[in-house]
C-alpha cells in the first residue's frame, strides 16, 4: 500500500506562458518582467532526475515492470522545469538516453550522495524515488541495490552532527509504537519459514533494525521529557500468521504501517531515509519491490500519510 503525499508545485512554466500569451495578444505592455524563481539544490536535483526519467527507455534486461514504474516515477517527480526562452537564465538539463537499469544507478547515487544536504519539501519524493528505483532492479542487478544501501549508510554516518532533526514527541511515539508492533509481528511470522529461507533471514535481520529504530525513538522522547507509550506483550496482528502465505501478507502490512509513521519524520530530516530504506528492502523480500512507498499530488499542502491501520495491543 502507498500513502498520499503532496508534492510542492514549482513548475511555473505553464503559468508564465499562459500569462504572457493573452497580454501580448491584447497589445498590452508588461512594465515588469515576471520573476523566475531561483532553483535551490533540491530543486535542481529534482529537475535533473526529471530529465533522466524523460530520456530513459526500457531495454533488454530491464525488469518487466520498468515501463509502468517509469510512469510512476515521472508522475511523482514531475516534468523538467524550463521557463520560456526569453526568461530562461540557464539551459534545462540534458541527459543521454539510458536503460532503466542504468537510470536506477544514476538516480539512486545522485540522491544518496547529497542526502545530508536535502532541505526542502522535495525530500520525501526524492528519497522515495531513489529507494524505489534501486530496489526495483534488485532482482535483475542486485549490485545496484547493494551499492545504494552502502552509500546511504555512509551518507547517514558522515552527516554533520547537527544535521539530523529529532522528530517531535507525537511522531516519535507513533514510530515507536509501529516499530514495537512490527517487531512482535516478525517474531510471530518468522517461524512460518524454514530456517534457511530468505524470508526467515530477513525477518530476523529486521528485528535488529526495528529494535534500533525503537531505541532511537525512545531517546527522542527522553530528550523532550515525554513518557513513552506503554509496550504490549501481545500486539494485534492482521492477518494472524498461520502459514507462509499469511506470514508474507502480514510482513507487507507491518512495513506499510512503519512507512506511514516514518513519513512525517522524513519530511523534516533527510537522514530518516535509512529507516525508509530498511523498511522498503525488507518488504521486497516478502513481495515485489514497490516503485514508490507513497503517492503524490500537485497540491502545495503539507504531506500526509494514511496507513492500513494502527497498532493495537490485545
Distances (CA, A) of 17 to 13, 48, 50, 181, 189: 6, 22, 20, 51, 56
Q: What is the pLDDT of residues 252-297, one digit of tens each?
A: 999 999 999 999 999 989 999 999 999 999 999 999 999 999 988 7
- Residue 306's closest CA among 276, 264, 245, 267? 264
This prediction's pTM: 0.84
Grid coordinates of 106: 544514476
Q: What is the pLDDT of residues 18-36, one digit of tens each?
A: 333 333 333 333 344 555 5
Q: What is the pLDDT of residues 91-106, one digit of tens each?
A: 667 899 999 999 999 9
33 HSE (CA, 13 A, CB side):
8
Size (the chain), residues: 314
Which residue spans within the chain are E strands per DSSP? 3-6, 294-297
Output the pLDDT for position 166.
Answer: 81
Grid coordinates of 248: 508474507
pLDDT over 70 at 201, yes or no = yes
In angstroms, the CA 227 to CA 99 distance is 50
Q: Judge contact between 185 and 248, C-beta under 8 A.
A: no
DSSP 246-282: HHHHHHHHHHHHHHHHHHHHHHH-GGGHHHHHHHHHH
Q: Which residues contact 153 (CB under 8 A, 6 or more apart)?
A: 274
Q: Judge contact between 167 and 268, C-beta under 8 A.
A: yes
Q: Judge contact between 206 and 282, C-beta under 8 A.
A: yes
Share of the chain above pLDDT 70, in %: 79
Output the pLDDT for position 24.
Answer: 32
Q: Which residues contact 174 (CB under 8 A, 6 or more apart)?
A: 261, 264
H or E, element range at 214:
helix 198-223
Amino acid at each position: 500500500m502507498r500513502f498520499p503525499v503532496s508534492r510542492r508545485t514549482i513548475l511555473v512554466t505553464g503559468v508564465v506562458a499562459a500569462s504572457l500569451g493573452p497580454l501580448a495578444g491584447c497589445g498590452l505592455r508588461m512594465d515588469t518582467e515576471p520573476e523566475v524563481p531561483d532553483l535551490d539544490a533540491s530543486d535542481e536535483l529534482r529537475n535533473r532526475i526529471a530529465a533522466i526519467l524523460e530520456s530513459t527507455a526500457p531495454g533488454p534486461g530491464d525488469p518487466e515492470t520498468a515501463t509502468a514504474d517509469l510512469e510512476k516515477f515521472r508522475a511523482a517527480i514531475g516534468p523538467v522545469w524550463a521557463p520560456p526562452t526569453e526568461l530562461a537564465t540557464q539551459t534545462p538539463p540534458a541527459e543521454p538516453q539510458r536503460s532503466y537499469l542504468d537510470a536506477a544507478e544514476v538516480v539512486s547515487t545522485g540522491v544518496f550522495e547529497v542526502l545530508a544536504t536535502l532541505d526542502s519539501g522535495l525530500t520525501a519524493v526524492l528519497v522515495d524515488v531513489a529507494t524505489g528505483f534501486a530496489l526495483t532492479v534488485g532482482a535483475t542487478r542486485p549490485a545496484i541495490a547493494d551499492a545504494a544501501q552502502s552509500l546511504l549508510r555512509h551518507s547517514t554516518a558522515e552527516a554533520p552532527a547537527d544535521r539530523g532533526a529529532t522528530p517531535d514527541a507525537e511522531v516519535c511515539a507513533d514510530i515507536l509504537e509501529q516499530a514495537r508492533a512490527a517487531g512482535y509481528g516478525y517474531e510471530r511470522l518468522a517461524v512460518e519459514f524454514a530456517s534457511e529461507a530468505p524470508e526467515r533471514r530477513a525477518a530476523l535481520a529486521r528485528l535488529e533494525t526495528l529494535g534500533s529504530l525503537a531505541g532511537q525513538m525512545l531517546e527522542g522522547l527522553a530528550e523532550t521529557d515525554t513518557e513513552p507509550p506503554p509496550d504490549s506483550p501481545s500486539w494485534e496482528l492482521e492477518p494472524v500468521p498461520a502459514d507462509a502465505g499469511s506470514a508474507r501478507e502480514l510482513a507487507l502490512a507491518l512495513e506499510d504501517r512503519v512507512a506511514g509513521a516514518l513519513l512525517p519524520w522524513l519530511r523534516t530530516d533527510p537522514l530518516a531515509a535509512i529507516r525508509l530504506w530498511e523498511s522498503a528492502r525488507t518488504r521486497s523480500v516478502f513481495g515485489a519491490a514497490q516503485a514508490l512507498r507513497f503517492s503524490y499530488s500537485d497540491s502545495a499542502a503539507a504531506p500526509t500519510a494514511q496507513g492500513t491501520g494502527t497498532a493495537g495491543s490485545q
